[in-house]
Amino acid sequence: MSAGTIEPTTGAPETLPATRWIEGTPSLHRITTDISRPMEARPGRGWWICFAISSLAVLNLLGMVTYLFAKGIGIWGLNNAVGWAFDITNFVFWIGIGHAGTLISAILLLFRQKWRTSINRSAEAMTIFAVMCAGLFPLIHMGRPWDAFFIFPYFPNQRGPLWVNFRSPLVWDVFAISTYFTISLVFWYLGMIPDLATLRDRATTGIKKLVFRVLSLGWNGSQRTWSRYEIVSLVLAALATPLVLSVHSIVSTDFATSLVPGWHTTIFPPYFVAGAIYSGFGMVLTLLIITRQTMHLERYITTNHLEAMAKVILLTGSLVGYAYATEFFNAWYSGNVHERFHFINRATGPYAWCFYLMVLCNVLTPQIFWWKRARRNIPVLFVASILINVGMWFERFVIIVVGLHRNFLPSAWGMFYPTVFDVGILVGVFGLFFTLFLLFIRALPMIAMWEVKGVSHG
């Protein structure tokens, strides 16, 4: 996380001015009012436009999923050769997105990174929404979603001693993702309690007050509670950090433990984690750039924050690029005919264009962040963040589909062509994600007031 460390470790502090994480020194009250404004002021046109578009996408999602349940997943382009495509691609993609949030809050908290304070709240929210989107796919990709509960080892049941297969990475997924979701949610909510109390005390209308009163659990800022509170946050951070790493490692075992050429690789866990953080930061960047403009929070989400994230992206992006290279080397070095063919096919086969698009977006794009001017240039950052998300989606697509469509027996080779339902659901889930986020920035403090206060005055 060295890239995230902003305090200069070498050189005398007085020669180098410490990075300012908040423009000026607003009064405590000013901080409160600034950050509460989005929730109290009427939303601007920008918000409404975004919300309209994304909620349309959600409607489309609802319709298509309903049709999916009615007709079966035959409406997708899947077939005997390619059993997973958009569905699991989306799943892994969203899980990846869900990584930056907890990472920013947990790891940066452990590293005592001050710059997390302005962005951790929205990053965590993003995590939660992303995991929700991801969680949709294991359900709807099933042939018989109405029997989805079979995957939980529950009691009592009718079938006696038949449980689930704890050797299956899919079961690991179930536990990993539900754990990750729960812990992230708790962490997010816990961090919000003091701010909820603030809002409660600012609230004027009765209903608002009531809601915030229930949510804030009667918080009154007692120092004794504060001291326990900080301990608990640290503990949660300490738990969440390995959790973040474990989740995508486990997701990667869906592929790594199989014997499909291109899936069956030991570097997948670190490679997937790096990719996840990479795409996660990409998405945080996208979201923050939009919100700081629309919600006028430039004072709290400064270019310094964006630059710090750009550095993380540069690092993880390079890691990902390294992993790509390693895969090819291993395939060649293994001498395994199936492995070798897979990677030749990846680079020259019918899906080669996906592969090169992925390399372009994930390996080349972040290299621009070697230049400080690029790191601090909002348009560049924005475009880059979009490209990164596109690239990471295609990375998963390439791994999954190219791995499946031509493997061991040439007689069973096939192609995957997406249908309107594949694309529609992909779009719809983006809609769901943004809808949730837009509602969040209107309903809850998207910046941790108490932490900002601590940073600016503490």
Partner 1 sequence: MAERFLVGSFGEPEGLLAAVSTLRDAGVAIHDVFAPYPVHGLDQAMGIRRSRLPWITLLAGLGGLCFALAFQYYTAVFDWPLDVGGKPENSTLAFVPICFELTVLIGGLGTVGAFLLRARLFPGKREQLPVLGVTNNVFALVTPLQGEGNEAELARQIMLENGADEVEERETES
Partner 2 sequence: MNRRPTCEDAAPREADGDPLVQIGLPTGTRSTGFEATRRDVLSLMGFSLGALGLGAGCRAPVQHAVPLPAASIEMVPGVPNLYATTCGACSAACGLVVKQRDGRPIKIEGNDASPLTGGGTCAAGQASVLSLYDDGRLRGPMWLGNAVSWAEVDRHIRSVLDARGRDARDVVLLSQTITSPSTRALIDELRAVFPRFRHVVYDPLSLAALREANRRAHGAAVVPHFLFDRARVVVGLDADFLGTWLAPVEHARQWAQRRTAGTDRGFHVQVESGVSVTGSNADLRLAVAPSQIGAVAVALLAAVTRRMGGDDPGSFGAAGLTQAAPHAVAIEQTAEALVRNRGEALVVCGSNDLPTQIVVAKLNAVLGSVDKTVDLAHPSLQRQGDDAALPALIDDMNRGAVHALMVWGANPVYDHPDGAAFRAALNKVALTISFADRRDETSAHVHAVCPDHHFLEAWGDAEPVSGHFSLRQPLIAPLHETRAAEESLLAWAGRTTDHRSYVRAFWKRALYKPAAGAAAPDAFDDFWERTLERGAIDLPRPPVATHAFAADLEESVREIVARANRAGGDHDGYELALQETVGARDGRHANNPWLLELPDPITRLTWGNVASIAPVTATALGVSTGDVVTLTTETGKLELPAFIQPGQHRHTISVAVGYGRWAAGKAGDGVGGNAFPLARVANGLRTTSARVTVTRTGRRARLSPAQTHFSMEGRDIVQTLALAPSEHEHEHEKLPDLWRERLHGAHAWGMSIDLDACTGCSACVVACQSENNIPVVGAEQVRKNRIMHWLRIDRYVEGDGEDAQSLHQPMMCQHCQHAPCETVCPVLATTTSSEGINQQVYNRCIGTRYCANNCPYKVRRFNWHNYTANDDFPYNMTSPLGRLVLNPDVTVRSRGVMEKCNLCVQRIQLGKNQALLQRRPMADGDVATACQQSCPTGAIVFGDLADAGSRVSKLLAGRRAYRVLDDLGTRPNVGYLKRLTREEES
Partner 3 sequence: MRTRGIVFGVVLLGAGGGLIARGATRIGVHQGYAPEQPIAFPHKVHAGDNQIACLYCHSGARTSRHAGIPSASVCMNCHSLIEKQTTEIQRLKEAVQQRRPIVWTKVHNLPDFVYFNHSQHVVSGVACQRCHGAVEQMDRIEQASPLTMGWCLGCHRAEAHVPTSTFTRVAANVRNRPTPFAGEDCTSCHY
Q: Which stretch binds partner 3 (CB under 8 A): 3-11, 70-78, 154-162, 419-427?
A: 154-162
Residue range at the interface with partner 2 (CB under 8 A); choices 35-43, 251-259, 278-286, 292-300: 251-259
Q: How far is the CB of 141 from partner 3 (least distance, A)?
A: 23
Which one of the spans 16-24, 211-219, 400-408, 424-432 is the region binding partner 2 (CB under 8 A)?
A: 400-408
Among 5, 150, 202, 203, binds partner 1 (CB under 8 A): 202
Rounded CA separation 5/312 (Å): 10
Question: Among the candidate windows 1-9, 131-139, 150-158, 334-342, which touches partner 3 by CB under 8 A?
Answer: 150-158
Pick the closest to residue 305 from 447, 195, 191, 441 (CA basis): 447
Residues in the chain: 458
Q: Token digits for 254?
A: 């869906």
Measure Cα distances from 421 to 23, 72, 137, 145, 222 in Å: 47, 11, 14, 17, 53
Q: Given the complex with partner 2, which of 194 and 403 has the nearer CB atom?
A: 403
The residues, ordered by sequence, that sit 6+ positions from 199 with a Cβ below 8 Å of its Cβ are: 36, 39, 208, 212, 216, 445
- Enumerate residues 162-191 that contact partner 3 by CB under 8 A: 162
Restricted to residues 31-60, the positions that interact with partner 2 (CB under 8 A) are none
**One-letter amino acid for residue 283 of the chain:** M
158 binds, options partner 1, partner 2, partner 3, none, Cβ within 5 to 8 A by partner type? partner 3
Binding segment (CB under 8 A) for partner 1, from list 5-13, 227-235, 297-305, 425-433: 227-235
Fill in the amino acid letter for 49. I
**Min separation Cβ 229 and partner 3, Å:** 22
Binding mask 411-430 for partner 2 (x = CB under 8 A): xxxxx---------------
Of 29, 45, 144, 159, which one interacts with partner 3 (CB under 8 A)? Answer: 159
Q: Which of 338, 359, 335 is nearest to 347 (CA)?
A: 359
Helix axes 169-202, 206-215, angle to 10 degrees: 130
Residues 6+ apart with CB under 8 A from 403: 255, 260, 261, 262, 263, 342
DSSP string of 59-87? HHHHHHHHHHHHH-GGGSS--SS---SHH
Q: Is 404 a binder of partner 2 (CB under 8 A)?
A: yes
Report the partner that residue 25 touches, choosing among partner 3, partner 2, partner 1, none (CB closer than 5 to 8 A by kind). none
Q: Report the C-alpha gap between 308 and 255 in whole angstroms.
A: 32
By beta-carbon proximity to partner 1, the closer residue of 117 and 377 is 117
The verdict on 179 binding partner 2 (CB under 8 A) reads no
2 binds partner 3 (CB under 8 A): no
Q: What CA–CA distance (Å, rounded) separates 209 from 219?
A: 13
Q: Does 197 bind partner 1 (CB under 8 A)?
A: yes
Q: Dihedral angle at the C-alpha atoms of 225, 230, 232, 233, nearest 10 degrees?
A: 140
Query: Nearest-CA neighbor of 104 among 296, 256, 305, 295?
Result: 305
Among partner 1, partner 2, partner 3, none, the one that 157 touches (CB under a kind-dependent 5 to 8 A) is partner 3
Q: Which does 337 bind (CB under 5 to 8 A by kind): partner 2, partner 3, partner 1, none?
A: partner 2
To the nearest 10°, report the CA torsion of 273, 279, 285, 286.
-150
Residue 347 binds to partner 2 (criterion: CB under 8 A) = no
Q: Which of 450, 443, 442, 446 is nearest to 211 (CA)?
A: 443
Cβ-based neighbours of 269, under 8 Å, separated by 6 or more? 248, 249, 252, 253, 256
9, 10, 158, 220: which one binds partner 3 (CB under 8 A): 158
Task: Work out which of 203, 211, 238, 260 binds partner 2, going by CB under 8 A.
Answer: 260
83 lies in the binding site for partner 2 (CB under 8 A): yes
Name the site residues for partner 3 (rule: CB under 8 A): 156-162
For binding to partner 1 (CB under 8 A), which residues are involved?
A: 27-29, 32, 153, 161-167, 171-172, 175-176, 178-179, 182-183, 186, 190, 193-194, 197-198, 200-202, 213-232, 235-236, 239-240, 242-243, 246, 250, 253, 449-451, 453-454, 457-458
**By the criterion CB under 8 A, which residues form the site for partner 2?**
71-74, 77-81, 83-84, 141-148, 150-151, 162-165, 167-171, 174, 254, 257-260, 337-338, 341, 404, 406-415
